[in-house]
Chains A and B, each alone.
Chain A
Amino acid sequence: MSLLAVRDLSKRFGGVKALAGVTFTVEPGQVLGIIGPNGAGKTTLLNCISGLTRPDAGDIRWDDRSISGMPAYRIARLGIGRTFQIVRPFPSMTVRENTAMGGLFGRPDGRLQPAAALKAADEVIDLVGLGEKRHHAVLRLTVPDRKRLEVARALAMHPRLLLLDEVMAGLNQVEVEQALTMVRRVQEGGVTIVLIEHVMSVIVGVCTHALVLNFGRTLIEGPPAEVLNDPRVIEAYLGERYARRQQPPPAPPSKGDGNAQA
């Protein structure tokens, strides 16, 4: 039985079809990478799964039970964690307090008491590599650290499925490597992962499956290497940019890149 099964999912914003009948399944233990050009409907798809957006048609099944249209907080408590592309920490709280929020309210098995939630937070903070910054105010964190915090907050809920929306965007190559290590560690901990990504090395480096979304439809699905080498994908959606990346990089990456958004 699939952990998550999305069938014929559609969502329209005014005249724009953000999703036009997307179908796929996620099996336990998989790391599914979703790629596609801007506006392909990737974030809308994650919003529908996590309950922030109500789909117009189609069905989302979790453990063979429909969660389509269920309120976001109940979906979260069922074990589906989610991070945002643009990080959204609670600004008045420290790293530790932010993380504890996930454990405090997001556990399926009732609710943790604050002390237990803080203890659980400490464990996942170490896992994502924020251990030394646990008492920092979140507004002082760099972009890569904020992204780690988003992952920690979701992990504190002890999710069975983690939806990552471009956690690598805006990171330099060193930081991407660190983030990849983090994702692998999370997967080894038994969490199934669906991630949206533009950085191709991430898809190849960590994903067990890849899915290409275009104009709200599934274009192709399969093993990452196969998918990325499919001529339709290269020509139509990755185009010249990816072709260029296939060649060896001309210069070592500059360290400052990652903080450009900060």
Chain B
Amino acid sequence: MSQFTQQVILGLLLGGVYVAVALGFSLVWGILNIVNLAHGALVIVGSYITWDLFTRWHIDPFLSLPIDALVLFVIGYALQRGVINRVIRAPLLFTFLLTFGINLIIVSLLLLIFTADFRSVTPSYSGNGLHLGSVTIPYIRFGGLVVAFLLAGALWAILNRTRIGAAILAVGADRDAAQLVGIDLRHMYALTFGIGAAFAGVAGGIISTFQSITPTAGDPYTLQAFAVVILGGLGRVSATVLGGLTFGLIEILGQSAPGLGSGYANAIAFVVLVIVLVVRPRGLLGRLA
């Protein structure tokens, strides 16, 4: 029993990471209709910033998260305004190609700057955890989960409680109608992408605390974010939260099932994903188009 409880907790903790990674991805997909293949690379840029600040000035990884967000926001805003905006009305394939190319460029730049060596962030409390009977909750992973929920709350509040959020939602619903009520479309596109990138950066900061990072470490996260959004559904913050936690749970519980090993984690998760696509194509909580 406690074995199972432990697995559930680990699943939720992993799910929290997926939530953090997928929030920005989901926002950009839902509002700009761009499946951003460079999302994972942006995540890892955040990881490297946290690593750099930690190794250079011993800044606690959790304290460097706002810096990750700020830097990535600027990068994201500029990327959208300068590059991606040129293909915003083009067919999906063009945005795929462009963001795939951006992904390659970012990964190559990271290789040049940081080399391919494994880098890890190891604050003093790395190995510690909260022991409740036979169940252990690692502090670092728990911190990541808390940050993921804070991010989700922040995104919800931005979208539903601010002027900018109203404009972003309007742009997502109907770009022409949005312009005609006086909303600066290109600025809102860039802001949305910037916010998405900022969230990716924070997710990257979290990831660097429990995983060794390399320039290509972001690629699986693009895939995970994609899966989480399909699973949860597009167009709602709560859908991304549910999708991320569910995906984490499925992976951890799947690989601990009798007769299966960690090698099956992804396979099981994606089988579930295919089932969801067949049975409920709009996702667990997604809105109908």
Q: Is A247 an interface residue (CB 8 A)?
A: no
Binds A, one of B56-64, B179-187, B270-278: B179-187
In the complex, chain B residues whose CB is within 8 Å of the CB of A105: 163, 167, 181-183
| Alpha-carbon gap, A72 to B179, bound state (A) | 6
* Nearest A residue (CB) for B186: A71
Judged by DSSP, the binding face of B is helix
Residues in B with CB closer than 8 Å to A52 are 176, 179-180
Is A77's CB under 8 angstroms from B182's CB? yes
| Cβ contacts A71-97/B at 8 Å (1 or 0 each) | 111001100011010001111110001
Whole-angstrom distance between the alpha carbons of A72 and B183 in the complex?
Answer: 9
Tell me the complex Cα distance, A111–B274, Å: 46
Given A52-B176, A104-B163, A90-B170 contact (CB < 8 Å): yes
Given contacts A52-B179, A104-B163, A114-B163, contact A73 B170 (CB under 8 A): no
Size of B's binding interface in residues, CB under 8 A: 18
- Which of A73, A84, A92, A93 has the largest number of chain B CB atoms within 10 A? A73
For residue B166, CB closer than 8 A to chain A, the reply is yes
Report the separation of the CA atoms of residues A137 and B180 in the bound assembly, to the nearest whole angstrom. Answer: 21
Whether a CB of chain A sits under 8 angstroms from the CB of B169 is yes
Complex Cα distance, B185 from A63, in Å, reads 25
Q: Is A51 touching B169 in the complex (CB atoms < 8 A)? A: no
Partner of B169, one of A50, A72, A90, A106: A90
Q: Which of A39-76 contact B (CB under 8 A)?
A: 50-52, 71-73, 76
By size class, the interface of chain A is: 20 to 34
User: Inside 8 A of A111's CB, which chain B residues have their CB?
Assistant: 163
Residues of chain A within 8 A (CB-CB) of B181 are: 76, 101-102, 104-106, 153-154, 156-157
| Residue A107 interfacial (CB < 8 Å) | yes
- Chain A positions within 8 Å of B117 at CB level: none
Q: How far is the CA of A120 from the CA of B170 in the complex (A)?
A: 19
Is B177 close to A, CB under 8 A? yes
Which chain B residues lie closer than 8 Å to A102 at the CB level?
181-182
Cβ contact within 8 Å between A88 and B167: no
Is B154 positioned at the interface, with any CB of A under 8 Å from its CB? no
Docked complex Cα distance between A227 and B177 (Å)? 32
Q: Known contacts A105-B182, A114-B163; is A84 also within 8 Å of B173 by CB?
A: no
- Are the CB atoms of B182 and A73 closer together than 8 Å? yes
Select the residue from A91, A104, A153 with max chain B CB neighbours within 10 A: A104
Q: A101-B170, A104-B163, A104-B166 are in contact. Are A88 and B182 (CB under 8 A)?
A: no
Which of chain B's residues have a CB closer than 8 A to the CB of A81?
180
Within 8 Å by CB of A101, from B166, B184, B185, lies B166
By the criterion CB–CB under 8 Å, are A90 and B177 in contact? yes
Contact yes or no, A73 B163, CB < 8 A: no
B174 and A88 contact, CB distance less than 8 A = yes
Query: Are the CB atoms of B184 and A71 closer together than 8 Å?
Result: yes
Give the residues in chain B near A88, CB-CB below 8 Å: 174, 176-177
Inter-chain CA distance A71–B182, complex, in Å, is 10
In the assembled complex, how far is the CB of residue B45 from the closest CB belonging to chain A, in whole angstroms?
31
Name the CB-closest residue of B to A99. B181
**Residues of A close to B174: CB separation below 8 A:** 88, 90
Closest A residue to B171 by CB, please name it: A90
Min distance, Cβ B235 to any Cβ of chain A, angstroms: 8
Give complex CA distance A76, B181 in Å: 6
Residues of B within 8 A of A91 (CB): 173
Give Cα distance in the complex from A102 to B179, angstroms.
10
Within 8 Å CB of B177, what residues of A? 84, 88-90
B180 — which chain A residues lie within 8 A by C-beta? 50, 52, 72-73, 76, 81-82, 106, 154
Provide the bound-state CA to CA distance between A84 and B174, in Å: 12
Q: Which residues of B contact A72 (CB under 8 A)?
A: 176, 179-180, 185
Interfacial residues of chain B within 168-225, with CB under 8 A of chain A in the complex: 169-170, 173-174, 176-186
Contacting residue for B179 out of A76, A90, A92, A156, CB 8 A = A76
Bound-complex Cα distance A244 to B182 (A)? 43
Known: A73-B180, A84-B177, A154-B181. 5 other contacts (CB 8 A): A51-B179, A92-B173, A97-B166, A104-B163, A105-B163
Top 9 A-B pairs ranked by shortest CB distance?
A106-B182, A72-B179, A105-B182, A88-B177, A76-B182, A90-B173, A102-B181, A106-B181, A101-B181
Using a CB–CB distance below 8 Å, which chain B residues touch chain A?
Answer: 163, 166-167, 169-170, 173-174, 176-186
Ordered by A's residue number, 22 sampled pairs between the chains whose C-beta atoms are within 8 Å are A50-B180, A71-B179, A71-B184, A72-B179, A73-B182, A73-B183, A76-B180, A76-B181, A76-B182, A88-B176, A92-B169, A92-B173, A97-B166, A104-B163, A104-B181, A105-B163, A105-B167, A106-B181, A106-B182, A107-B182, A111-B163, A154-B180
